[in-house]
């Protein structure tokens, strides 16, 4: 089964770029790596998804190296509203079943 590691917390000032890295091993070779954002008392919300190299959408970029043993979520010019917990999500095969594994989450605090 996959194992994931994320920093527990990060602080950033408004307007800065924030990079959050998730290390993951034993992930499925043919599946996407996905990142979610969660605010208190809400379910997670999809941010971005990628398979390899770099993916960019209107809110974030995702960098995945060729070995796919990590992925880095990049949030450009964060604002106070980006204060949330960020999770990576990967898939793996094991114990006779396909498993989805979330990282433990990185609590991002944006400081004015």
Token duo for residue 94 = 């094991």
Question: Rounded to the nearest whole angstrom, what is the least distance from the CB of residue 112 to another protein in the complex?
Answer: 27
Nearest one of 32, 24, 39, 16 to 86, comparing CA atoms = 39
Cα atoms found within 13 Å of the Cα of residue 52, Cβ hemisphere only: 8
Tokens 């979610």 belong to: 36
Do 94 and 1 form a contact (C-beta atoms < 8 A)? yes
Residue selected from 25, 49, 74, 83 as contacting another protein according to rule CB under 8 A: 49
Contact stretch for another protein (CB under 8 A) within 15-23, 24-32, 65-73, 75-83:
24-32
Contact stretch for another protein (CB under 8 A) within 17-25, 59-67, 76-84, 102-110:
102-110
Question: Site residues (CB under 8 A) for another protein?
Answer: 1, 28, 31-32, 34, 36, 41-46, 49, 87, 89-91, 95, 97-105
């Amino acid at each position: 089964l996959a194992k994931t590691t994320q920093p527990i917390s990060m602080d950033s000032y408004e307007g800065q770029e924030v990079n959050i890295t998730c290390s993951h091993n034993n992930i499925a070779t043919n599946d996407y790596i996905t990142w979610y954002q969660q605010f208190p008392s809400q379910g997670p919300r999809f941010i971005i998804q990628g398979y390899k190299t770099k993916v960019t959408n209107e809110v974030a970029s995702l960098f995945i190296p060729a070995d796919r043993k990590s992925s880095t979520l990049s949030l450009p010019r964060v604002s106070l509203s980006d204060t949330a917990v960020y999770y990576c999500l990967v898939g793996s095969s094991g114990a006779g079943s396909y498993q989805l594994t979330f990282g433990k989450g990185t609590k991002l605090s944006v400081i004015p």
